Structure 1
């Protein structure tokens, strides 16, 4: 207390409110992958996490999507445009799905830049090495981690990156991974080549000490992220473009009309030379679309190929939307996904049984299409599906929120006297926080005593030796909400009276 020596009136401000627990963010994702560029304020930020809040901000700092390349070929006499996998990168499209499904603020960590024009960057597991995980470990805000480009590596490299991601989440215990299924656009074969249970399937490739910090979703999604004009003749590789034009030019519909054939040839001729402007290319593309049905068919085929996307970006957005509307304690399931045309694979109830309740416990959440309901996330299980405690995504993510929120609130008590006044204050702070959550419907229980309990003190959570050693043990018990995953309706005929 201040010593007063001169007569007078002195004003002293006292704290009216005790320390409080502030709920940590739950919907902030961190995306790891390849970008076109990585420049912020003139500085290269490759390998450095950057926070963004919109798609326009992402493109301003990390550029646009890759220039997809297709090889034209005739397969059994049928024309086809085959996507060159080296030109594919998923992060930009995943960001679009994230924002379109309710995402907002997030972090981006670029592991490499493919640049404008034809990509020359070779994807490598080394790009996802230890420096990436050290940088991610420094971030306190993100609670969800997404690596949409992992599925573009080889199966062994995918295994390395995915398992390192799960280990990262387990070590920090403050974030949750959304895992994409390798080759998840393929139908299941239920043999050694099965994308879920086969030798190179998810359940074989992904394994961690604690599987409850991640969830997987199947299948991939046919999205509407890429419009009809996103692929043009420019995406056809230089080596096969001549054959592509020759085939399209010989199309029956054009041959039947000499004027149209001449117009098409003139459009192709206009592309000769090295000084063709983007406007001229755009005009030529429009002319070809109006002249040739085959040209449109092949480009539509190409758009469909690049539109098949792993679902992690959309799910990260759905997590954020659910957290904002209902709270992290609501299971992020039974949700319709935006910018999704259909799942790449149609799944029946019988086919979902093995995904939901496998013998090894590695549950995979299905994304299904239902009449009049659209494309719906039809599962909310972690990869630790056999666990009675951590089976559900919302249970694990709510526990992460509670642990991290309370942990941050107790930091000011480090080095405080390990005595009854401190214990009482700690108990009060935590109980006030949990009581607020219970009133919001985050905890189960008809009364607060049923919903939560906090214990701290000598003789209850600590011994004299603990106090001597400087250890203050706090025990928090909560009753978390479990989703109604199985709703059973029982019908019985009522016997008529009289």
Structure 2
């Protein structure tokens, strides 16, 4: 309707000749599901409430810190899963978690932020504050996963504590996660191999492929092996992390000075910070205690890689773009993979001729550190959805275009609307092509947008209110195999 002017003067009307552009959606905002120390902010419970945070400090304020895990001392004749034995008082012991003592959520969040993570969602399904153990419940994980159906922003799903369920429970949950991602169509699952700290020869890879299922593999990516990290420092570990009372610890340690100190601590009234002072004194008086603390620290620092990989995704997306493969990238706060992987072993991970379930290797290279050395989805036999950056780029384009076209709902289904829509999408894809997301020497080689009567729609489609758009994209694929042909030129006589 034309404006009505009643007062003499000069009036300016700004005419917008360019339609609003399509904004690129966020691509690396993971949702972490698991057990936390607490779940409260401003006296409001955060249990089963997806909560967005932007820093580790914010996580600590809302969800607390890590679980005080306890480790058993086992005779190396009883249990030896490849751990190094620690020699105390002439006896060799293997350090391993006591039952129901594992919780990887807090450590995985630290890995996420240390490796480039910026923001994420946290779904606390239960708290462990003032509890001596954690009994995991598969149904609580599924309930937390279902809560993400109402959240549009998360683009990754990470459940570090899934590996602490039983083997069957873990893979049952993984199947639920893949189904969830397929239903939502705007996120992918970053999965850990169950018992991924064990060598390939222990059948962990074979079991992963057998139990993960065969559905929705486009939406999953897995990494192996687990990581030996530096997340927990020596200052984070005390005798409280050893599943012995003080009398048992005194009997274990051979140093007489340590025995006397512990005995005095037990018999006398304990001052403020008494346990901390006892720990510091034992570090000075007992070399055996130092060895024990170091061994416990090493066990607590063995972590599944999903949290670190979520951070790598965020870092690569921020610096290069979602279309760049998150591979050939070093990991922070990581000492080395728990299992060294050779080229021949990576062939087993990379290619599975039967099922196509590729598993990405994390490898250590001399002079380079620990690198992510793979970027395949679980659907490794698919030519279209083999690479995780291709899948995530497609998701980004689909969601961005979907959001950008919402203003056209209930607009006239005519040529003017089709022209505006095509212009918006082409401008968006042209920008992506210039950034390097799409392959092709010119835009027409990189993408096409088709829309219109007789092109993508029939007259009956228009009558029924359908507006159909056809997009074609040439997404960049990583140079996974760089092959050099060398020829030696002999000197002419």
TM-superposed deviation, 1:11? 4.0
8 Å contact kept, 2:95–2:299 = no
8 Å contact kept, 1:223–1:342 = yes
CA distance in 1, matches of 2:199, 2:24: 41
CA distance in 2, matches of 1:474, 1:428: 12
What is the match of residue 88 of structure 2?
none
What is the match of residue 323 of structure 1?
317
8 Å contact kept, 1:223–1:339 = yes
What is the match of residue 127 of structure 1?
140
What is the match of residue 246 of structure 1?
251
Give yes or no for the alignment of 1:358 onto 2:352: yes
What is the match of residue 2 of structure 1?
2
Post-superposition CA distance 1:223-254 (Å, at most 9, x none): 0101112221122235x542222120xx2xx3
Give yes or no for the alignment of 1:97 onto 2:111: yes
Cα 1:73–1:246 change in 2 (3 A) is: farther
Post-superposition CA distance 1:115-145 (Å, at most 9, x none): 14x534411112113x323320111111111
What is the match of residue 175 of structure 1?
187
Cα 1:275–1:110 change in 2 (3 A) is: farther
TM-superposed deviation, 1:210? 2.1
Post-superposition CA distance 1:157-208 (Å, at most 9, x none): 101211100000001110011000000000122xxx50011xxx11112124
CA distance in 2, matches of 1:441, 1:212: 23
What is the match of residue 196 of structure 1?
205
Give yes or no for the alignment of 1:474 onto 2:474: no
How many residues get paired? 478
8 Å contact kept, 1:104–1:320 = yes
TM-superposed deviation, 1:485? 0.1
The equivalent position to 1:82 in structure 2, one of 93, 96, 110, is: 96
CA distance in 2, matches of 1:97, 1:374: 16
What is the match of residue 24 of structure 2?
23
8 Å contact kept, 1:72–1:244 = no
**Structure 2 counterparts to residues 68-467 of structure 1, below 5 A:** 68-75=69-76, 77-116=91-130, 118-129=131-142, 131-189=143-201, 194-197=203-206, 201-238=207-244, 240-248=245-253, 251=254, 254=255, 261=256, 263-272=257-266, 276-277=270-271, 279-359=273-353, 360-467=355-462
Cα 1:458–1:495 change in 2 (3 A) is: same
What is the match of residue 482 of structure 2?
487
CA distance in 2, matches of 1:431, 1:496: 55
The residue matched to 1:87 in structure 2 has which SS? coil
TM-superposed deviation, 1:490? 1.1
Moved more, 3-12 or 411-420: 3-12
The residue matched to 2:228 in structure 1 has which SS? strand
What is the match of residue 63 of structure 1?
64
8 Å contact kept, 1:66–1:119 = no
Cα 1:277–1:195 change in 2 (3 A) is: farther
8 Å contact kept, 1:219–1:343 = yes
Cα 1:277–1:445 change in 2 (3 A) is: farther
Cα 1:273–1:124 change in 2 (3 A) is: farther
Which aligned segments of 4 or more residues in structure 1 are displaced greater than 4 angstroms?
73-76
Q: TM-score, normalised by structure 2?
A: 0.94
Cα 1:371–1:2 change in 2 (3 A) is: same
